[in-house]
Amino acid sequence: MDLVSENRAHGGVQQVVSHVSKTCGVPMTFGIYLPPQAEDGPVPVLWYLSGLTCTHENAMTKGGFQQHAAELGFAVVFPDTSPRGEGVADDDAYDLGQGAGFYVNATCDPWAPHYRMYDYIVDELPALIEAEFPVSGPAGITGHSMGGHGALTIALRNPDRYASVSAFAPIANPTMSDWGRKQLHAYLGADESAWCCWDASVLLEEHGWKSDILIDQGTSDQFLDLLRPEALASVIAGRRQPGEIRMQAGYDHSYFFVSSFSGDHARWHAERFQTSNGAGRAHA
């Protein structure tokens, strides 16, 4: 690992770290915030997955999570959204390729050699974090937009690994949205049956979730039709799944929206860390 930067924040430390990823086959960069409590021993961790066009930096600098994490005593990890660099496949469109990994394991060329963000987030990066930083015990996962899609699908596929899951304006039903069908077709191929395990609405309907789910969605979100929160709401109601989708009047899709409710999500995850017996290592 290489330490890219380190800044004091709210009594803790915000670091940016790079490392060579065996999973993605290229150097990857992530941010990690360690609260002051980490100086006395391991702390729980909240994973934050970012959206289209973002890097590790967007939520790290705009989400406001550090103050809440310092008050509540957990770490926050901010991964990148895709592999990057020379030799990594890309596309001229903003919503495919670098910055748009969609947290899947690509099976089609030219994406398959590097675009393995699911394995990176679920296996490689957690193992690195747990080995190198004072982090252990319960883990939670959240994210925004494409990252909300990633957080929900990863948690639903790995219920023993995460104590809690929430999302900000997630792409809730990508198999039925232009923010999803295009990318799933490119990364996974034309067989739509292979797409279902990357769709939170489909996964929740099939498997449910062991606890409650928190989702915030702005009513003035300019991408609301692409996000399809109504699909997830229908599944939650149909399964009688504990959960809350809060439609926040007047909020859009920006980090002003995320930062407005990051404190709510931080406290919500912290409460579930306290009641959790920890997360295991098995995954679907």
**List 21, 82, 145, 201, catalytic entry:** 145
Catalytic, 90? Answer no
**List 144, 216, 221, 265, catalytic entry:** 221
Give the angle 278-116-177 at the CA atoms, nearest 5°: 90
Give the angle 270-81-159 at the CA atoms, nearest 5°: 45
Catalytic, 145? Answer yes
**List 68, 114, 149, 253, catalytic entry:** 253
The total of other beta-carbon atoms located within 10 Å of residue 73's CB is 16
Catalytic, 21? Answer no
Exposed, middle or buried by CB within 10 Å (0-12, 13-18, 19+), for 150? Answer: buried
Active-site positions read 145, 221, 253
